[in-house]
Structure 1
Amino acid sequence: MPAPRLLIDPELGRALDGVPMTPNGAFDLTDITATREALRSFAAATAAGAPDEPSVAVEEHRARSADGGPDVPVRLLRPTTATGPLPVVLWFHGGGQVLGFAAQDDPWLKRLCARLGCAVAAVDYRLAPETRAPGAAEDGYAAHRWLVREAAALGLDGTRIGIAGQSGGGGVAAATALLIRDRGGPAPLFQALMYPMLDDRNRTASSHEITGLGIWDRSTNLLAWQAVLGDRAGTDDVCPYAAPARAQDLGGLPPAFIAVGELDCFRDEDLDYATRLRAHGVPVELHLYPGAYHAFDLFAPESQLARSFQQTWTAYLARHLRAPAS
C-alpha cells in the first residue's frame, strides 16, 4: 500500500510539517523524564496563549485509593453559572500512560464545561514506568467510586457520570469501565474513547503500517507498552485492566463512542474493540477519520477534520449527559 505520509489529509500534513521532531519522533520515550518536562512546558505555553474561561472554576480534590495505594488527585472543573446537580465527565488525559497530567487539558475542558453545563473530573492517574498497569485503572476506579459517593456534597449528579479519555487515557478509561462492571459499581452513562490505546500485543495491520510519521508510530508504542507492562508486554500474563483488548467478555459495559484516524497505529485495535463490543450487545458509535494520524485534533485543531470530530464528540456528550425526561 502507499506510504502513510502520502495518504495524510492536506491540512493535517501541513500541521505535521510544523511539529518539532526528535530523531525518535514527537514523543521521545527513550528519555521519558525530558519528554515529560517538554510536554509540561508546551502545555503551559498553550494555556498562556489561550483565552481563559472565567465562568469555570477549578477545584483540587483527592480520592481514596481502592487498592491501598496513595490517594488519587482529581481536578474538578465546573461552570459557576450552572444550576442544579451537574452531570460529570470523568476524564483521563492522553500521553500513552507514561506522559501527561490532568491540568494539561484545562483550556479545552473548560470550554466543554461552559458549553455543556457539565462538570469535568480530570484524574491525575499514576504513570508508568513508576507505576505499572493496572495501577492507572485502579486510580480510575477510585476516582469513579469517590465521585459517586461524594456527588451530592459536591453539587453533582451521581446518576449522570460518563467516562472519557484520550489515547493512553482512552485505554485507562476503557479499563476503568471494565473494573466498575466487574466490581459491581454503578454503571457509567458511557465510555467515550478518543483513539484509545487498548492492545499491548501490537500485531494488527495498522500497528505495522504506521511508521515514519513521528506521531506515536509503532516504535513509540512499543516503548510505551514496555514501560506500562515491563516484561509482561505481549505475553499471556496481561489482564484486561492493563490492556482492555485482552478482555474476552465485553458484555454489560456502558455504551461506547470510539473515534480513530485512518493513519493511527491504534486503528485496527480500536475497530476490533468496537466490533466486539457490539457483538456483546453494547451500543457503539464508531468514527473513522480518513487521512488522519494519531491525535490529529490536537496538532491541527482548526482543520476541517478536527472541527468535524470536535462537533461529533461534543454532540455525543451532550446527548448522553442530558437529564432524562420526567
Structure 2
Amino acid sequence: MRFSYTTTEAKADEKSLNFLLEQLAITQPSAEQELKMDWPNPHHCLLNIKRDDLIHPIISGNKWRKLKYSLCHALENDCSHIVSFGGGFSNHLHALAYCCKQLNIKFTAIVRGDYRANPSPMLQDLSQWQSDIHYVDKLTYQRREKPEYLALLQKEYPDAMIIPEGGSNTLALQGVAEIVNELSGHYDYIVAPVASGATLAGLIHATHQTSCKILGIGVLKGEGYLEELVQQLLPQSYGHWSINHEYHCGGYAKSNIELRDFCRDFYQQTQVDIEPVYSGKLFFALRHLIQQAYFPVNSRILALHTGGLQGAR
C-alpha cells in the first residue's frame, strides 16, 4: 500500500489503539498540577501545569500526542516502513524511532547535516534502535515539504508512510486536541511552546468553541512564519490565539546564562525538569508575562509541558 505525506482525519480502530498503548506502555491521562511560584503576580493568576513530560520516558510529551494517530494509521494499514525528517537533536525523530523499534516497523530518518564524525546522543540512540539514517545537506532538507521531492522519496520507498517533520499533519491535531478533554476544569489561557506548529494548532482547534485563549511562545526566530505554519494546519481561521516572539533567546536551541539559570532554579523550586530549548523558554516567558500583568486579574492559566528533555543532552 502507498502512503501519502499528509493524511486526512480518521477514527482509529480501537483494537489498534489498544495494541499501541500496550506495546509502548503509555501513561494517560497525564498529571495536571498547580504551580506555586515565588514570582511577582500582581494580577493573582492561578498557574497550573499539564505534565505531558510524564506520558513516557522516551515518547515524551507532545511527541506522543502528535504521533499517536499516525502510528495507528500505520498499524491498520500493515505499514512496514516509516520515513521522517529532523535535525541532529530532534525529539521527534527520537520518539518516532523508538516507537518503530517497539512496533517492529523499519524506520528511516532523513537528518539535516552530516553527523557521521560526531553523532549526537539522539543519533546514537537511533543507531542502537537499528534506524536507517540518511544525512542530507541544508538545500536538500529545505525541500522536505516540496511535492516533487516527496514524490521522489515515495518512489524510493514505495511502501513507506512519510511523516512530516515534527509529526505535523492533520492526524497530529486529533492527538493534541485530546489534551483539552483531559482537563479537570476551565482555563482562561493555555500556553505552549511553538516550533513546528502542530501542538498549537491542535489546541486552537479543540478550544475554538470556548472562551479559552491559546498563547504560543515561539522558541525560534519566526515571526509570521510560525503563524503561517499553524494556520496551514487548521481547517479554518480562528481568532482566539496568538504567538509571542520575545523569548526565543536568539533562535532555535539558542539560550543564554539567564535562561539556563532559570531552568536550574525552576527545578529546585518545583522538582519539575525543564530544558532551554522548549519548556524552559515557555516558563521563562510565563514568569515575565505574569510579572508584567499581561494576563487579566484572576486568570486561570495552564502551561503545557511538552517534554523533549532528551534534547538537553
| TM-score, normalised with respect to structure 1 | 0.30
| TM-score, normalised with respect to structure 2 | 0.31
Which structure is richer in relative contact order (CA contacts within 8 A, separation 6 or more)?
Answer: 2
